[in-house]
C-alpha cells in the first residue's frame, strides 16, 4: 500500500525545507545537504525574514538555529504557533542547555540537534518532520471541505444538526427546539444535502470532526 517511490511524485507537491540561520556558511552547508537528496530549500537569515514570507503550501519543515539575531528560535516557535502556523521545527544549537531543549520539545519541536550535526541525523529528522507535516496537511484538508459546507448551513439547520447528530429522534429534536416534527424532517434533508452526507453515520462523523458539542451524547461505561 504505502509505496515510497510514488510519494515523491504524487501528493500535493514537492516538500520544501526552510532554513533559518544567521551564519551564511551554515545556510550554504545545509542547503547543499538537502539539495543533495533532492529536497527543495529556502534559506532565511533571520526570524523576521521568515515571518514575512508566506506560509508554504506544501509539506515542509523548519530547520532553525536556536540562537538568532533579534529573537531566539524559541521565540520564533512561539510566534509561529500564535500565527497558527504548524510547520514542524527542527532546532540546531551550538551551546544549548537542557531546559531550553525541554521547552522546545514540549512546544512541539520534532528534534533538537547539537553542533556539529551529523548529516544523517539531520536528514532523518527532516524526513520525519516532513512526513509529520504531510499527515497534518492531509488531515486538515479532509475536514476543510466539511467545515466550509457547515458554514453554508443556516442557524436553524445547525441547531437541528447538533441534536440529530446527538442521536435524538426527529420528534425529540422538534420538542427540544419547539418545532413541528415535519419541520425538523425538512431541515434534516437540507442538512444531508448541503453537507454532502450519504447517511446518518456520515453526518455523525462530520460533526465529530468539526467538534460540534453533543447535547445528549454519552458513550457510557
Site of interaction with a second copy (CB under 8 A): 93, 96-99, 101-102, 105-106, 111-112, 114, 141-146, 164-169, 196, 198-202, 204-206, 208-209, 217-221
Q: Are 18 and 130 in contact (CB under 8 A)?
A: no
CB of 53 to a second copy, least distance (A): 27
Reported as half-sphere exposure (CB side, CA atoms, 13 A), residue 34 has a value of 25
157 touching DNA, by CB under 7 A: yes
145 binds, among a second copy, DNA, none (CB under 5 to 8 A by kind): a second copy
Rounded to the nearest 5 degrees, what angle is found at the Cα of 59, between the Cα atoms of 56 and 63?
75
Q: Which span (49-57, 99-107, 142-150, 176-184) binds DNA, by CB under 7 A?
A: 176-184
CB of 210 to DNA, least distance (A): 18
102 touching DNA, by CB under 7 A: no
d(CA 172, CA 164): 9
CB of 153 to DNA, least distance (A): 8
Q: For DNA, what does the binding mask look like between residues 190 and 209, x meaning CB under 7 A?
A: --xx------x---------
d(CA 111, CA 185): 52
Rounded to the nearest 5 degrees, what angle is found at the Cα of 21, between the Cα atoms of 19 and 27?
65
d(CA 18, CA 37): 15
Residue length of the chain: 221
Q: For DNA, what does the binding mask look like between residues 136 and 155, x meaning CB under 7 A?
A: ------------------xx
83 touching DNA, by CB under 7 A: no
Q: Which span (36-44, 47-55, 133-141, 189-197) binds DNA, by CB under 7 A?
A: 189-197
Q: How many residues touch DNA (CB under 7 A)?
A: 21
- Point out which residues pair with 20 in neighbouring strands: 44, 64
Q: Are 46 and 69 in contact (CB under 8 A)?
A: yes
185 touching DNA, by CB under 7 A: yes
Nearest to 62 by CA among 100, 98, 110, 101: 110
DSSP letter at 38? T
What are 8's three cell numbers?
515523491
CB nearer to a second copy: give 21 or 44: 21
d(CA 16, CA 91): 16
189 touching DNA, by CB under 7 A: yes
171 touching DNA, by CB under 7 A: yes
Binding residues for DNA, per CB under 7 A?
154-157, 169-171, 174, 177-180, 182-183, 185-186, 188-189, 192-193, 200
Amino acid at each position: 500500500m504505502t509505496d515510497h517511490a510514488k510519494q515523491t511524485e504524487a501528493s500535493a507537491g514537492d516538500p520544501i525545507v526552510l532554513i533559518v540561520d544567521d551564519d551564511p556558511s551554515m545556510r550554504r552547508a545545509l542547503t547543499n545537504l538537502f539539495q543533495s537528496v533532492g529536497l527543495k530549500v529556502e534559506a532565511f537569515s533571520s526570524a523576521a525574514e521568515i515571518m514575512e514570507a508566506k506560509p508554504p503550501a506544501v509539506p515542509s519543515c523548519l530547520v532553525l538555529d536556536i540562537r538568532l539575531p533579534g529573537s531566539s528560535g524559541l521565540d520564533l516557535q512561539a510566534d509561529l504557533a500564535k500565527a497558527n502556523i504548524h510547520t514542524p521545527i527542527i532546532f540546531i544549537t551550538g551551546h544549548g542547555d537542557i531546559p531550553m531543549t525541554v521547552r522546545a520539545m514540549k512546544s512541539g519541536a520534532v528534534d533538537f540537534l547539537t553542533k556539529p550535526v551529523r548529516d544523517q541525523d539531520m536528514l532523518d529528522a527532516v524526513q520525519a518532520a516532513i512526513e509529520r507535516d504531510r499527515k497534518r496537511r492531509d488531515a486538515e484538508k479532509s475536514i476543510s471541505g466539511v467545515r466550509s459546507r457547515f458554514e453554508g448551513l443556516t442557524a436553524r439547520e445547525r441547531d437541528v444538526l447538533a441534536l440529530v447528530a446527538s442521536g435524538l429522534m426527529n420528534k425529540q429534536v422538534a420538542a427540544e427546539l419547539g418545532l413541528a416534527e415535519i419541520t425538523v424532517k425538512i431541515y434534516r434533508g437540507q442538512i444531508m444535502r448541503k453537507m454532502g452526507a450519504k447517511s446518518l453515520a456520515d453526518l455523525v462523523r462530520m460533526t465529530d470532526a468539526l467538534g460540534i458539542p453533543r447535547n445528549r451524547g454519552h458513550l457510557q461505561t
